[in-house]
Structure 1
């Protein structure tokens, strides 16, 4: 009963609010932004009472629960959805998404959800924080701003409404079992710790040449890491094959960043597939190699960005800004030269190990590594049967190109740690 003694059908009221939310989300999705905002304002104006706001909150929750569940069924993981939403919307849509995912995952026993999912939820600071007797949209609106939450819900629903199916990286919620959880690398984990330590030094130094020397040392360790894994697999006749992992690549200058990641992957017996519209790259490779690729990419991106920023803003002869063209060309040149250098380091490490092993053991190493690369290629063909090559980035700034090339070419590749004078 209401204060006026009129009986209200709560389920019907929730349904009516859900229809209005969907109408606004549809308008937003079809780029009728003025209409979407007007519908949202009217919705907010009609939820001044506690009862109406409660009904609207449960309506939003119902829609988001359905859409997030559908996305999980289509192999999206929490970090994937979070990356897409932060890319296409503004706050607090990302926080509302975190609430929705936490609400959906509450349905499952914790042991039946891949631990990687919980790690992702922790990384984006998403958890079930609201009281049990309230919907999270209403609780967030009461705590922050109800009009902002309603607008964020409209944008969020529009963004995730029809996400496509993507490649599976592991079990869905409710399907994880101890036997299905991904195993970690069986090669000495201290190797990656040493790699991370070298890259930390590369990131902290103010001398580009010194940074690249540390990076070359890290790549040498990672090449040995892959070699050890290949030899171990051949010795023990293991059946563990390539796996998939997604890495977010953000604007600006996406294409050069993807080129950098692809080059690092190639030097470490992996492949990279860019899903441009979704804002991520799928890496395909063996688990220990993927760890190395992710680690090195993060470090090199920091180094490239730091070196690029030192050149400041760029203008042409007429005073017009050419900073974007300079930086795009810089990063592309940096990426291509880094690819060359990493392959040189990896090839030198293979030759050194083959010589150390000697005889037939040494000559067997290269075919083993080729088998490893072939297995990755087969996995790419399986998961991405309709793969197309992306168009190369246009380079339009000569100074940016040569500056980027120089930033990636100051360290000796001889393995001695000496820096060439250039």
Structure 2
């Protein structure tokens, strides 16, 4: 009965969808006596549906992002629980660090006593009747069931340590946070200090040190690869980029990625960007992009007091200019760090500096890593197009560049809201 209801909803055109939903939900919710069986059947069906999404390249954060964009909060809560239910089939150690981080951030935990009581417990928790919950479940399964395959960014549960035919690097050593690389934990700590200080000069110094550490880590890994001591290959992550002003946000992400020898591919229809690069660089890109996005929000909200500063044209132009100026600053910082490293000036992980002999392998090694990233982009996305972002407000452009010049390149997690 559940399979029949889901099939009817999946295949219904938009003009008859309401009828299919009402018919299916009425059948499923008709009897309190059969509700436990419906509950067990739903979790079983969802295991298959979610597993199909994993095989098609989707990851936990992606499925939740789709629901957040298209449906309502109750669907979002149900989505997390169905992901948690499916996750019980897999060992807690896999498939990779970022997958586990996504599950942890979603708080995906099977909290219900048993599968027959799941729907009853969920309905009680969210104050829903049987019909409303059955409708939400069918709408959710329709949303997931219509997703197309996408380029994978890592192994799926139940698969070997290979993603799309390419080797996946072994896990990083654990840092202070569970599964977090030690380098990233150190950078996060420096940025937290920069965020909490009341003295701009101290914030600038701490943030600059964090940026140096990021650049030096990338350089160290390039030299390890050149020496044959590291078999690292490019990887990929997805980062959500939603409206409003998704174009300028993508430009900002691309600016951060380019400065860290990564590439960005924007999937506008799904509200995310895929960032391709080497593993440690990807960690830094995600952290720094989130920080700069918060600062852009604060600067935008403070920019000007006239009514024009609240217009869409002003805000769009402001954020495009902000991203363009950040690109210039980060590119210059990367070039300085590379020049220092080529001259033998090395930044240790504890933040102190040491003088080493210049290493002639550095620039060829960095070039090789950039070429490897380009090759991976071509393999994952053989057909790409570029898109221009329009600037239509001169005042917004000037204000955005000025705000980017003031950015301390640190911050805490958040997003732009209009």
TM-score tier, shorter chain, comes to 0.7 to 0.9
* Count of residues paired in the alignment: 389
Alignment of 1:348 onto 2:336? yes
Deviation for aligned residue 1:267: 0.6
Report the CA distance between 1:165 and its aligned residue: 1.7
Cross-structure match for 1:117: 99
Contact 2:343 2:357 in 1 (8 A): no
Please tell me whether the aligned partners of residues 113 and 172 of structure 1 are also in contact (alpha carbons under 8 angstroms). yes
1:395 equivalent in structure 2 = 391
Residue 398 to residue 200, structure 1, CA distance change in 2 (3 Å): farther
Per the alignment, residue 157 of structure 1 pairs with 141
Which whole-Å CA distance do the structure 2 matches of 1:258 and 1:347 have between them?
23
State the alpha-carbon separation in 2 of the partners of residues 205 and 324 from structure 1. 33
CA RMSD of aligned residues (A): 3.4
For structure 1, list consecutive stretches of 5 or more residues without a partner in the other structure. Answer: 1-14, 414-422
Query: Aligned match of 2:370 in 368, 373, 382?
Result: 373
Once residues 186 and 225 of structure 1 are traced to their aligned partners in structure 2, the CA distance between those partners, rounded to angstroms, is 16
Judging changes above 3 Å, is the alpha-carbon distance between structure 1 residues 186 and 376 closer, same or farther for their aligned structure 2 residues?
A: farther
Flag the 1:325–1:56 CA change in 2: closer, same or farther, 3 A.
farther
* The one of 380, 384, 391 aligned to 1:383: 380
Distance apart, 1:223 and its partner CA: 1.6
Shift of 1:347: 0.5
Query: Take 1:122 and 1:156, find their aligned partners in 2: how far apart are those partners?
Result: 21
**Per-residue CA shift, 1:216-263, capped at 9, x if unaligned?**
443333222211221222234432111111111122111111111111
Does residue 306 of structure 2 align to residue 306 of structure 1?
Answer: no
Tell me the equivalent position of 1:264: 256
Partner of 1:339: 327
Contact 1:169–1:243, Cα closer than 8 Å, also in 2: yes
Structure 1 residues 359 and 117, CA, compared in 2 at 3 Å: closer, same or farther? closer
Deviation at 1:141, TM superposition (A): 2.4
Contact 1:195–1:221 (CA under 8 A) maintained in structure 2: yes
Deviation of the 1:307 alpha carbon = 1.1
Aligned partner of 2:401 among 398, 405, 416: 405
**Contact 1:267/1:339 (8 A) holds in 2:** yes
Match among 122, 143, 146 for residue 140 of structure 1: 122
Q: What is the CA distance between 1:200 and its match in structure 2?
A: 2.9
Cα distance 1:61–1:219, how it changes in 2: closer, same or farther (>3 A)?
A: same
Q: How far apart, CA to CA, are the structure 2 residues paired with 1:371 and 1:78? A: 32
SS of structure 2 residue aligned to 1:96: helix
User: Once the two structures are superposed, what CA deviation does each residue of 1:86-129 show, in whole Å capped at 9, x if it has no partner?
Assistant: 12111111121122222222233445644543432221122222
Instruction: Indicate conservation of the 8 Å contact 1:114/1:176, yes or no.
Output: no
Q: Which residue does 1:324 correspond to in 2?
A: 312
What is aligned with 1:253? Answer: 245
The residue that corresponds to 1:86 in the other structure is 68
1:49-68 pair list within 5 angstroms? 49-54=31-36, 56-58=38-40, 60-68=42-50
Q: Does 1:31 align with 2:28?
A: no
Separation in structure 2 between the aligned mates of residue 150 and residue 408 of structure 1, nearest angstrom: 49
Normalising by the residue count of structure 2, what TM-score does the alignment of the two structures yield? 0.81
- Which of 84, 88, 91 does residue 102 from structure 1 map onto? 84
Structure with larger Rg? 1
The answer to whether the Cα contact below 8 Å between 1:25 and 1:158 also exists between their aligned partners in 2 is: yes
CA offset digits 1:189-221 (Å, max 9, x no partner): 554344323433554568889866654443333
Counterpart of 1:229 in structure 2 is: 221
For structure 2, list consecutive stretches of 5 or more residues without a partner in the other structure. 346-354, 410-418
CA distance in 1, matches of 2:122, 2:272: 29
The alignment's TM-score, normalised by the length of structure 1, stands at 0.80
Mapped to 1, the partners of 2:234 and 2:124 lie a distance apart of 47
- The Cα of 1:21 is off from its aligned counterpart by 4.5
1:290 corresponds to which of 282, 291, 316? 282
Q: Is the 8 A contact 1:184 1:288 kept in 2?
A: no
What SS does the corresponding residue of 1:408 show, helix, strand or coil? Answer: helix
SS of the aligned residue for 1:163 comes to coil
SS state of the match for residue 169, structure 1? coil
Alpha-carbon distance between aligned partners in 2 of 1:405 and 1:97, rounded to the nearest angstrom: 40
Of stretches 377-386 and 109-118 in structure 1, the one that deviates more from structure 2 is 109-118
Structure 1 residue matching 2:213: 3-state secondary structure = helix
1:152-231 equivalences under 5 Å are 152-176=136-160, 182-184=170-172, 191-204=183-196, 215-231=207-223
Distance 1:375 1:338, change over 3 A: same
